[in-house]
Amino acid sequence: MQSNQKGPFQPMTLVASLFGIGMILLANILEGGKTRSLYQPSAFMIVIGGTFGATWASCTMEEAVGLVKGTARMFRLPRVDRRKLLETLIKVANVARRNGTLAVEEMLPTIEDAFLRRGLQALVDGWTPAEIQKLLELEMDMDEHHAMLAGKLMDAAGGYSPTFGIIGAVVGLIHVMQNLADATKLGEGIAVAFVATVYGLVAANLIYLPLGTKLKKIAQKDSELRAMIVTGLELVASGANPRKVEDMLAPWVSGHGQPPTPEPPLKEVA
């Protein structure tokens, strides 16, 4: 049986981003630079604030909420045991073969996964294999579409960020040009102006684009798991033998744990 419970906090994404930023700061120090020279609140406001505003303007409120939820979920992915899910589907196949699909209704309260439970309810209600497949695939496609939008919004932020870095540099250079009379401050002023460019590039390549890629991978993993459920329920609805269900779903479990303990073989129905 699959569990929808949230897993433990997974800081890998955060640690990886901080590691990349740390390496940049360390390299700056090794080159003789000072960390405080990279601290420019105005540049930060232009790059981060501008990127946030542009991304917000490019999406609907529903998409913005989905992005927040998706980003939060990235750090606490639900526990997914494909081996137990396969065992559940094999058990369903046994019950359906022995006692008919109506007997599967007794299993519904024990099923935690809402997607699987919805498919089993359709099975109990007498839907055909093709109808069950169409129902679940439609929901799967819509969920994947909304989940992918979160990743695409992060990608969009990754595209805006370097541009706002350039804007920050131009704004800084404008101030430098206004103070050309003081030649002693030209070098420092130009250096400060280009800090915004650094902010834009670092934010894009160590935060927005990596997070966008991860969000899309999570969406693909969810769809992969649901495809396993759709295939399993289609087989059960068509009256497939539990052994056939196990063999057909084995590729989804390969590499995700030991194979399930098979149910006792059924007697052939005359």
Query: How is the chain split into domains, by residue range?
Result: 12-253
pLDDT tens digits, one per residue of 251-266: 888 755 444 444 444 4
For residues 178-184, give the mean pLDDT: 72
In whole angstroms, how far apart are CA 212 and each of 54, 70, 155?
16, 10, 5
pTM, full prediction: 0.79
Q: Give 101-129 pLDDT, tens digit per residue.
A: 888 999 899 888 889 999 999 999 988 88
Q: How far apart are the first and last CA of the chain?
A: 31
Token match 């006692």: residue? 99
- Cα 131–chain centre separation: 29
pLDDT, tens only, 31-88: 887 888 788 888 899 999 999 999 999 998 988 888 888 888 888 777 778 898 999 9
CB 1 within 8 A of CB 88: yes
What is the structure's pLDDT at 69? 86
What's the rounded mean pLDDT across residues 134-151?
A: 90
Give me the pLDDT at residue 6, please: 59
